[in-house]
Amino acid sequence: RTRSARALTLAEREEISRALVAGRTMGQIALQLERSKSTISREIGRNGGIHRYRAHEADANAWERARRPKECALSGNARLRRLVATKL
């Protein structure tokens, strides 16, 4: 059974980093952390891959991606803005 959707912690990211160095598979890491394999795969993929993953960098990147406020989707996409205006 996996945990509910929530952000990975720095400690979990450090476990991922150590497990990768030890040659463990994503499935093994997922079982160890009680997370889904897809969560582990996405985490590793978006943070340098199997050979370049670093826990502290990954954690800093996650905090940066989560920052608010973010640009409104409509303000940065004229096509979407026109579509929404048409539908209104």
Quote the domain boundaries for residue 57: 10-87
Q: Is residue 80 part of a domain?
A: yes
pLDDT by position in tens, the chain (length 88):
445 578 999 999 999 999 999 999 999 999 999 999 999 999 999 999 999 999 999 999 999 989 888 788 888 899 999 999 999 9
Q: Is residue 1 part of a domain?
A: no
Task: Give the pLDDT of residue 75.
Answer: 87
Residue 14 CB burial class (10 angstroms; 0-12, 13-18, ≥19)? middle
Q: Is residue 54 part of a domain?
A: yes
Q: Is residue 3 part of a domain?
A: no
Number of domains in the chain: 1
Q: Is the dihedral of CA 5, 2, 17, 46 positive or negative?
A: negative
Q: Is residue 5 part of a domain?
A: no
Task: Give the pLDDT of residue 52.
Answer: 97
